[in-house]
Amino acid sequence: KAGVTQTPRYLIKTRGQQVTLSCSPISGHRSVSWYQQTPGQGLQFLFEYFSETQRNKGNFPGRFSGRQFSNSRSEMNVSTLELGDSALYLCASSRGDMNTEAFFGQGTRLTVV
Amino acid sequence: GESVGLHLPTLSVQEGDNSIINCAYSNSASDYFIWYKQESGKGPQFIIDIRSNMDKRQGQRVTVLLNKTVKHLSLQIAATQPGDSAVYFCAENPVPYGQNFVFGPGTRLSVLP
């Protein structure tokens, strides 16, 4: 069974640009969550999508957005990039019912210059 | 998401000894918890989970203990091996539906030969 796939693995963007990251969950999983990991703040929850709807949301500005497609694949978009957005962005996949295991992908390393 | 601290605790153990990694969680409403292992350059790897109606759960070489009274989790690793060297995170899910995992700051485990 294939795991969670995130693309691309690495990205370098310029301040002010926008970026789109992609996540393909484990087959049969309907929930996709996104997290930001930085050395200073650790792992922080961005948002969760389930059945193409945002179900939970963390405390990030509106520049961070996402969506989920009918095949459960998800994309995350960050607009007007800031230097502080440099981070490892992780996607987690789960079945979606209450309190079930969440499995992470390898992440996308975003560097904003 | 909650902010986490800058300091990453470190635990050094001899190969073959048992390891105990501790975690204090913040939300008394959390009823689901996961321990993750993260190796350098990789996404977090699911180790074991526990629901709030349990106080102990065992896996292969690992045991998780939950003390709801003091909001404390621990991960015990038996016969620690060099491959166990990594950063370990506890995560709590304070929402009743879906995911909004709040991660601890992590503990770096170093296994000495």
User: Which residues of chain B have a Cβ shorter than 8 Å from any chain A Cβ?
Assistant: 1-6, 31-32, 34, 36, 42-46, 49, 51, 89, 91, 93, 95-106
Kindly report the length of chain B: 113
pLDDT in tens, B76-90: 999 999 999 999 999
Q: Does A23 touch chain B (CB under 8 A)?
A: no
The ranges of chain A with pLDDT < 70 are: 1
A61 CB neighbours in chain B (<8 A) are none
Beta bridge partners, A37, equal A43, A88
Q: Determine, for residues A4 and B43 on separate chains, whether the beta-carbon distance falls below 8 Å.
A: yes
Would you say residue B22 has pLDDT above 70? Answer: yes
Look at the alpha carbons of A91, A7, A26, A64 in this order and tell me if their dihedral is positive or negative. Answer: positive
Give the gap in angstroms from C-alpha A5 to the nearest C-alpha of chain B: 11
Q: Does A15 touch chain B (CB under 8 A)?
A: no
Q: Does A51 touch chain B (CB under 8 A)?
A: no
Among A1, A64, A2, A79, smallest CA distance to A33 is for: A64
The backbone torsions φ and ψ at residue A84, rounded to the nearest 5 degrees and listed phi first, read -70, -5
Q: What is the pLDDT of residue B7?
A: 64
Give the gap in angstroms from C-alpha A104 to the nearest C-alpha of chain B: 6
* A77 in Cβ contact with A65 (< 8 Å): yes
CB pairs under 8 A between A and B: 82
For range B63-71, the mean pLDDT:
96
Q: Please give the Cα distance from A104 to A107 (Å, whole number).
A: 8
Q: Please give the Cα distance from B73 to B90 (Å, whole number).
A: 8
pLDDT in tens, B83-111: 999 999 999 998 877 888 999 999 999 99
Q: Determine, for residues B101 and A102 on separate chains, whether the beta-carbon distance falls below 8 Å.
A: yes
Residues whose CB falls within 8 Å of the CB of residue B67, separated by 6 or more in sequence, listed in order: B55, B73
Confidence of residue B62 (pLDDT cuts 50, 70, 90): very high
Q: What is the pLDDT of residue A81?
A: 98
Confidence of residue B21 (pLDDT cuts 50, 70, 90): very high
